RNA sequence: GGCGGCGUAGCCAAGUGGUAAGGCAGAGGUCUGCAAAACCUUUAUUCGCCGGUUCAAUUCCGGCCGCCGCCUCCA
């Protein structure tokens, strides 16, 4: 049984999907006005680990992630650049998908765009109007939160507490109450993109798309909704108000939120300017998979302070796993301790599953992985592992990697394998003649090309640096 | 002002009312022609500080200090 911390109840709860073995989940996607930064990708990695873990435990997933391709910033910038919003956002949508691939984040099953679901949003506004949860102001439509029961429930906030000391409301639109939010924004500027609606020409408010599109693809009530913790309030609270206000049904059963990535003592964010993009890290020579490991290795609800040192440490940890796999693939043990071999496998399998199923305790699960690596390496050294055990160990490692996805090397810099093999053959000759000088020269030459040689009992092997 | 979270070795990071996983880095050793990889030993009498509850607290309670977040767009 897998359990999750549910923001709604503030407790770790056993996960029970609406339909046995099937999970509907929605995660808030990017606003595609610029490149995403690695703080954004912490949330995406979290969702990826969540999805892969659910699959690992046998669930079938339907995952929906929105692409916000219309909002104030997108409109402002595209107007300035004299582009349509589609022209302006397209490269950033493509870059986002490319970054997901680079980080091995499995794509959602559906990536609905806000601009392609205007009608669904209009329908939702009309349902809210029928339920007396809205009011109109000069062509805009607002949600009247005082008419929704339990507003603030998700964040543990009482609406009346928001007033004291709250920061200044900067919204450009006029509302009865500063906490009310726009469902429909009337067109303000010439050339601004807008859609016809019963309320006039305009465009949807930001919160609305997630309600309309999640319900469209996942139904009025679905299992999991997730994102960064900054979305808890007001975004996710507003989604609840909209969805439940329109349908009268429970919107989402489990709300999961991940903590922020920090840099320079603050949340990494675009507006603060303290961010790196994935492209920045790759340009500095870091392996994106080392970043993947960094972002997944800390529990999702703990704050994570970004540093390049941590990324380097992650790279070293990954190397240990990759070296372990290469050793398992290379060695062909004979004999061995049958009982001990199966026992070590069983303990590790069980330990990993227990840790992971407990609110995705990935750090604990990784502890099990590395303990296993040490145990098996020691058994190989002592000739205690059986061939059966070796095959089982490899299978277990691959099973874990269905979640971690760090074993495969990043595709960067092609290697001329024939040349490497040729050099290794030459070096073997030199070593036979005990010409250590020549052997070392060849090894160093390959090292300069980024190839590391290892002399094992099974012969000389190589790997990329 | 309201609400929430965090503080564990040089660095990263789990965890539990019963005496501190794991990774990285460091030191010593085994193996190796030398390396690399691997293994062994070693690195927190101690879990921000101060009290309290308890036979026993890092783990529960209270206070304090430091840091972060949300209440505005935000992963």
Q: What is the number of other CB atoms lying within 10 angstroms of the CB of residue A382?
A: 11
Cα distances (Å, whole numbers) of residue A172 to A76, A162, A169, A192, A237: 13, 19, 9, 15, 21
Strand B close to A325 by CB, under 7 A: no
Strand B close to A309 by CB, under 7 A: yes
CA→C1' distance for A117 and B29 (Å) = 67
pLDDT tens, A198-250?
999 999 999 999 999 999 999 999 999 999 999 999 999 999 999 999 999 99
pLDDT of residue A163: 58
Q: Assess whether pLDDT exceeds 80 at residue A169.
A: no
CATH number of the domain bearing residue A26: 3.40.50.620
In this predicted model, which residue has the larger pLDDT, A296 or A449? Answer: A296
Residues A155 and A112 in one domain: yes
- Among the candidates A404, A433, A450, a domain finishes at A404
The nucleotide minimizing the C1' distance to residue A169's CA is B72
What are A459's two structure tokens?
A: 């012969």
pLDDT class for A410, splitting at 50, 70, 90?
confident
Strand B close to A232 by CB, under 7 A: yes
Q: Assess whether pLDDT exceeds 90 at residue A159.
A: no
Please give the average per-residue pLDDT across A364-372, as a whole number.
98
Strand B close to A436 by CB, under 7 A: yes
CATH number of the domain bearing residue A381: 1.10.730.10
Residues A382 and A325 in one domain: yes
- Cβ contact A397:A325 at 8 Å: yes
Query: In which domain, by residue range, is A37 found?
Result: 3-258
Closest residue, CA to C1' of B38: A377
Note whether residue A269 is domain-resident. Answer: no
Contacts with A189 (C-beta within 8 Å, 6 or more apart), sequence order: A75, A79
pLDDT of residue A357: 97
- Strand A202-204 relative to strand A11-14, pairing: unpaired
The nucleotide minimizing the C1' distance to residue A31's CA is B74
Note whether residue A111 is domain-resident. Answer: yes
pLDDT tens, A170-186?
444 578 888 899 999 99
Strand B close to A433 by CB, under 7 A: no
Contacts with A315 (C-beta within 8 Å, 6 or more apart), sequence order: A286, A287, A290, A293
Strand B close to A86 by CB, under 7 A: no
Strand B close to A231 by CB, under 7 A: yes
Taking alpha carbons only, the member of A437, A417, A415, A412 closest to residue A427 is A437
Taking alpha carbons only, the member of A434, A458, A430 closest to residue A443 is A430
C-alpha A237/C-alpha A399 separation (Å) is 37
Q: Assess whether pLDDT exceeds 70 at residue A164.
A: no
Sequence length of chain A is 465
Residues A84 and A14 in one domain: yes
Strand B close to A266 by CB, under 7 A: yes
Percentage of residues in chain A having pLDDT higher than 70: 97
pLDDT of residue A166: 46
- SS3 for A151? coil
Note whether residue A265 is domain-resident. Answer: no
CA→C1' distance for A354 and B43 (Å) = 30
Please give the average per-residue pLDDT across A297-314, as a whole number.
96
Note whether residue A270 is domain-resident. Answer: no
pLDDT tens, A249-289?
999 999 999 999 999 889 999 989 999 999 999 999 999 99
Note whether residue A271 is domain-resident. Answer: no
Note whether residue A382 is domain-resident. Answer: yes
Measured N-to-C along each axis, helices A436-448 and A417-432 cross at an angle, to the nearest 10 degrees, of 160
Note whether residue A125 is domain-resident. Answer: yes
Residues A109 and A246 in one domain: yes
Residues A165 and A122 in one domain: yes
Residues A92 and A117 in one domain: yes
Residues A428 and A391 in one domain: no
- Among the candidates A208, A225, A258, a domain finishes at A258
Measured N-to-C along each axis, helices A387-404 and A308-330 cross at an angle, to the nearest 10 degrees, of 150
pLDDT of residue A190: 84
pLDDT tens, A78-103?
999 999 999 999 999 999 999 999 99
Preceding amide of A234 cis, omega within 30:
yes
Alpha helices by DSSP H, listed for A277-381, are: 278-283, 288-297, 308-330, 338-357, 362-381
pLDDT of residue A58: 97
Q: Assess whether pLDDT exceeds 70 at residue A418.
A: yes
This complex has an ipTM of 0.96
Strand B close to A227 by CB, under 7 A: yes
Closest residue, CA to C1' of B24: A313
Torsion of CA A372, A310, A406, A64, to 10 degrees: 120
C-alpha A226/C-alpha A423 separation (Å) is 52
**Strand B nucleotides, any atom under 7 Å to a protein CB:** 1-7, 11-15, 21-25, 32-40, 67-75
Q: What average pLDDT is seen over chain A? A: 94
CA→C1' distance for A318 and B14 (Å) = 18
Residues A62 and A144 in one domain: yes
pLDDT of residue A167: 46
pLDDT of residue A360: 97
Note whether residue A353 is domain-resident. Answer: yes
Residues A136 and A225 in one domain: yes
A153 beta partners: none
Residues A89 and A221 in one domain: yes
CA→C1' distance for A22 and B68 (Å) = 36
Q: Assess whether pLDDT exceeds 80 at residue A25.
A: yes
Residues A154 and A225 in one domain: yes
C-alpha A308/C-alpha A298 separation (Å) is 15
The domain total for chain A is 3
What are A227's two structure tokens?
A: 């994102």
C-alpha A213/C-alpha A120 separation (Å) is 7
Residues A176 and A292 in one domain: no
Strand B close to A465 by CB, under 7 A: no
Residue A413, classified by CB atoms within 10 Å of its CB into exposed (0-12), middle (13-18) or buried (19+), is exposed
């Amino acid at each position: 049984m897998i359990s999750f911390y549910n923001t709604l109840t503030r407790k770790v709860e056993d996960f029970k999907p609406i339909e046995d073995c099937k999970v509907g989940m929605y995660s808030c996607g990017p606003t595609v006005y610029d490149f995403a930064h690695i703080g954004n990708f912490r949330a995406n990695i979290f969702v990826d680990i969540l999805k892969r873990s659910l699959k690992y435990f046998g669930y079938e997933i339907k995952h929906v992630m929105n692409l916000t391709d219309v909002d104030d910033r997108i409109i402002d910038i595209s107007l300035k650049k004299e582009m349509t919003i589609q022209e302006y956002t397209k490269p950033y949508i493509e870059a986002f998908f490319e970054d997901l691939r680079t980080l091995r984040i499995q794509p959602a099953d559906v990536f609905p765009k806000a601009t392609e679901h205007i009608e669904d949003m209009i329908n939702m506004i009309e349902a809210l109007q029928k339920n007396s949860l809205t009011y109109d102001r000069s062509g805009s439509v607002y949600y009247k939160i005082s008419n929704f029961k339990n507003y603030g429930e998700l964040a543990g906030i009482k609406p009346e507490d928001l007033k004291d000391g709250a920061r200044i409301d900067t919204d450009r639109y006029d509302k009865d109450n500063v906490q009310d939010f726009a469902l429909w924004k009337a067109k303000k500027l010439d050339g601004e993109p807008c859609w016809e609606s019963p309320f006039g020409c305009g465009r949807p408010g930001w919160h609305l798309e997630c309600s309309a599109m999640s319900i469209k693809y996942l139904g009025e009530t679905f299992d999991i909704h997730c994102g960064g913790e900054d979305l808890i309030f007001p975004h996710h609270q507003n989604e609840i108000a909209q969805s439940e206000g329109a349908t009268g049904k429970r919107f989402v059963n489990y709300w999961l939120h991940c903590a922020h990535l920090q840099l320079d003592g603050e949340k990494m964010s675009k507006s603060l300017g303290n961010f790196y993009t994935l492209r920045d890290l790759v340009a500095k020579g870091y392996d994106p998979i080392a970043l993947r490991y960094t972002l997944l290795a800390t529990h999702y609800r703990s704050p994570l302070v970004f540093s390049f040192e941590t990324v380097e440490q992650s790279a070293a940890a990954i190397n240990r796993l990759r070296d372990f796999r290469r050793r398992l693939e290379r060695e062909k043990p004979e004999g061995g301790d049958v009982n001990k071999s199966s026992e070590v496998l069983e303990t590790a399998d069980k330990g990993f599953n227990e840790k992971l199923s407990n609110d995705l305790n990935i750090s604990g699960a990784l502890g099990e992985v590395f303990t296993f690596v040490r145990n098996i390496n020691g058994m190989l050294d002592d000739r205690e592992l059986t061939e059966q055990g070796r095959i089982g160990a490899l299978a277990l490692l691959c099973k874990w990697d269905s979640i971690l996805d760090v074993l495969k090397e990043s595709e960067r810099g092609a290697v001329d394998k024939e040349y490497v093999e040729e050099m290794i053959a030459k070096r073997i000759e030199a070593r036979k003649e005990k010409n250590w000088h020549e052997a070392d020269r060849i090894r160093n030459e390959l090292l300069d090309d980024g190839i590391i040689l290892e002399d094992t009992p099974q012969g000389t092997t190589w790997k990329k640096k």
